[in-house]
């Protein structure tokens, strides 16, 4: 429950607010810091040992994500921009705290149960607090906006099927992520999870016209090297967490 309370409003809520205020160029690299924050929290609350090699790997993962996602935004400045940067750091902390909370809880319950609890609490938060606040903000900033009409067009859009498919894929990936944190520990699982920056580049190269630049190649290499530094020797992969039965 604590993972949902921290992950939903602070993580995704802060992420969406940050994107709207500062744009993805600065927000994505900042939110990619959450594995390092999670490693610090796991060190304190879960007593996970983080070696110097693993810290170096985490640093390389973060540097690689920044190299992949960083592009100076045009006309960045003003109070809203800096508020967006603050929301990005808040999102990184929320996602890190979520991982630590759910990993601690999964020592006592199955990952599938923990995921169901998380999704139920998270859905209630979104339906009861986050979405109404977003609609209120929209109506306040655009008094003449037809919110019911926008919602009707959104749910009748041809893209609803794509969103539904994305939801199914997201559910499967979340299930795998929770299982990974339960078995491998927060630091190791999140170091693997941060490779979303790399997969985004690969899929973009395959299905879109994204340009493969030197910074993308350097960032991808840094992420892979960092990921293996966190995992350690290949035989260390089988050294999983001790989970209470």
- What's the per-residue H, E or C state across the chain? CHHHHHHHHHHHHHHHHHHHHHCHHHHHHHHCCHHHHHHHHHHHHHCCCCCHHHHHHHHHHHHHHHHHHCCCCCCCCCHHHHHHHHHHHHHHHHHHHHHHHHHHHCCCCCHHHHHHHHHHHHHHHHHHHHHHHHHHHHHHHCCCCCHHHHHHHHHCCCCHHHHHHHHHHHHHHHHHHHHHHHHHCHHHHHHHHCCHHHHHHHHHHHHCCCCCCHHHHHHHHHHHHHHHHHHCCHHHHHCCCCCCC
Local confidence band at 74 (pLDDT 50, 70, 90 cut-offs): low
Local confidence band at 209 (pLDDT 50, 70, 90 cut-offs): low
Q: What percent of the chain has pLDDT over 70?
A: 76
Name the average pLDDT for the chain.
74
Q: What percent of the chain has pLDDT over 90?
A: 0
Most confident of 78-92, 105-119, 139-153: 78-92
pLDDT of residue 245: 44
Mean pLDDT in residue range 182-200: 71
Does 94 score more than 70 pLDDT?
Answer: yes
Range scoring the smallest mean pLDDT among 3-12, 65-74, 116-125: 65-74
């Amino acid at each position: 429950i604590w993972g949902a309370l921290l992950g939903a409003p602070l993580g995704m809520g802060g992420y969406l607010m940050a994107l709207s205020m500062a744009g993805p160029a600065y927000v994505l690299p900042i939110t990619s810091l959450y594995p390092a924050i999670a490693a610090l929290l796991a060190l304190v609350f879960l007593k996970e040992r983080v070696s110097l090699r693993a810290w170096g790997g985490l640093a390389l993962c973060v540097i690689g994500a920044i190299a992949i996602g960083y592009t100076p935004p045009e006309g960045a400045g003003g109070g809203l921009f800096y508020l967006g940067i603050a929301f990005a750091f808040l999102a990184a902390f929320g996602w890190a705290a979520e991982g630590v909370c759910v990993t601690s809880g999964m020592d006592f319950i199955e990952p599938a149960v923990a995921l169901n609890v998380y999704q139920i609490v998270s859905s209630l938060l979104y339906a009861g607090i986050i979405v109404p606040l977003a609609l209120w903000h929209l109506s306040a900033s655009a008094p003449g906006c037809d919110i019911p009409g926008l919602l009707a067009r959104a749910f009748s859009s041809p893209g609803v099927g794509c969103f539904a498919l994305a939801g199914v894929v997201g559910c499967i990936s979340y299930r795998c992520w929770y299982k990974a944190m339960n078995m491998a520990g927060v630091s190791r699982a999140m170091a693997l999870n941060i490779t979303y920056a790399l997969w985004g580049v690969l899929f973009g190269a395959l299905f879109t016209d994204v340009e493969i630049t030197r910074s993308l190649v350097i960032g991808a290499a840094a992420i892979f090297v960092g990921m293996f530094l966190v995992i350690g020797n290949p035989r260390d992969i089988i050294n999983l967490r001790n989970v209470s039965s």
